[in-house]
Amino acid sequence: MQDLLIYTVKGISYYAVKARELGIVDEDTSVFIIKSLFSTVTNVNFDSKRMELLIKEALRKRDKIKYEFIGAYKAKFGKDFKEDIPDAASFKINEDIESFLTKAQAIGILSQKDENIRSLRELIIYGLKGIAAYTDHAYILGFKEESIFRFVEEALVQTFDDALSLDELFNLVIATGEYSVKAMEILDKANTETYGHPEPTDVFAGTIEGPAILVSGHDLKDLDELLQQTQGQGVNIYTHGEMLPALSYPYFKKFKHFVGHYGTSWWNQQKDFDAFNGAILMTTNCIQKPRESYRERIFTTGLVAWPDVKHIPDRHNGKQKDFRPVIEKALSLGGVEEKFIKKIKIGFAHNA
């Protein structure tokens, strides 16, 4: 299913690149491409129903940008667009799970028989997924870079261009690395201009007695909104895994109930979550199959999804996400016990 989503996004990119040549820049389409790539990163979306919905939306996005381009082309040149259109940009399909799985099997990674071409193309795709993750986080905070959108779309198109040589694909691999650095730069700018530069900080690792929410992932805006909504609620907030650096940002230090870090690395989450008698919020990648012992108290949000795990919907009309279900669950559980493990030093970023 992920292969089919990426394949369809390649088709969207084909028209997006053509449309750009005519001066048509569709930011909504570019952002959808970014989010679709991010949703296929390891340990993000395990929910086949949500993946099916993404593919259906991708097909609609592809048709939309296609007709925008075709109309603009005819208006400019006075004739219909006649170029041979690649399958990714033109295939028709019944919108049901069986048809999707059949198509996915036909266009999967191994459909490219030349292992050298296949390897370079997939290396580019994996790099684009990383770019998408950084770009999406920056975009959520209101920061964007048009050149990154453009590169991602152009690179996706080149991954199905059979005319490209190995040398040309290798050069595209290098360019993908260069744009990965640009994506990290825009994300760093987004995080630091929004929340301040990380500073050396002693962090409490353990738990304080009382209701608690454990936040994992990378999405600082989700953490921000949760902290705002839990002020005065008697709920303590902890980081887990990759969210640990949030405790070193100056902005977050004003929240007195943002008390510390719990647990170890993401691959130990089943053990960590099992022992944490509080609500758990997964904001980005790194979710593993929830154990039954905590399935009823773990929540996903954003692009993260697991079948039958409660999901916090996205923001609408400029409003915050509604984290009340997470907060209510934390309060209903009674809380965690007090346990001091150690203090750790973090925050040694490039401005420290």
pLDDT value at position 352? 85
Whole-number Å distance between alpha carbons of 237 and 265: 18
Query: For the residues 123-136, what does the mean pLDDT come to?
Result: 98
pLDDT value at 341 more than 90? no
Domain 2-193 in CATH 3.90.1300.10? The answer is: no
- Residue 238 banded pLDDT, cuts 50, 70, 90: very high
Query: For the residues 126-137, what does the mean pLDDT come to?
Result: 98
Between 332 and 318, the more confident residue is 332
Query: For the residues 196-204, what does the mean pLDDT come to?
Result: 98
- Residue 240 near residue 214, CB atoms below 8 Å: yes
The domain limits of the chain are 2-193, 201-346
pLDDT value at position 45? 94
Polymer length of the chain: 352
Kindly state the helix (H) or strand (E) to which residue 188 belongs, with its residue range.
helix 166-195
pLDDT digits (tens, 9 = 90+) for 135-151: 999 999 999 999 999 99
pLDDT value at position 181? 98
Whole-number Å distance between alpha carbons of 153 and 13: 5
Whole-number Å distance between alpha carbons of 324 and 328: 6
Whole-number Å distance between alpha carbons of 220 and 245: 10
Query: For the residues 242-264, what does the mean pLDDT come to?
Result: 97
The fold of 201-346 is Rossmann fold (3.40.50)
Output DSSP code: residue 324.
H
Phi, psi of 342 (to 5 degrees): -175, 175
DSSP string, 144-183: --HHHHHHHHHHHHHTT-TT--HHHHHHHHHHHHHHHHHH
**Beta carbons within 8 Å of 70's beta carbon, 6+ residues apart:** 80, 81
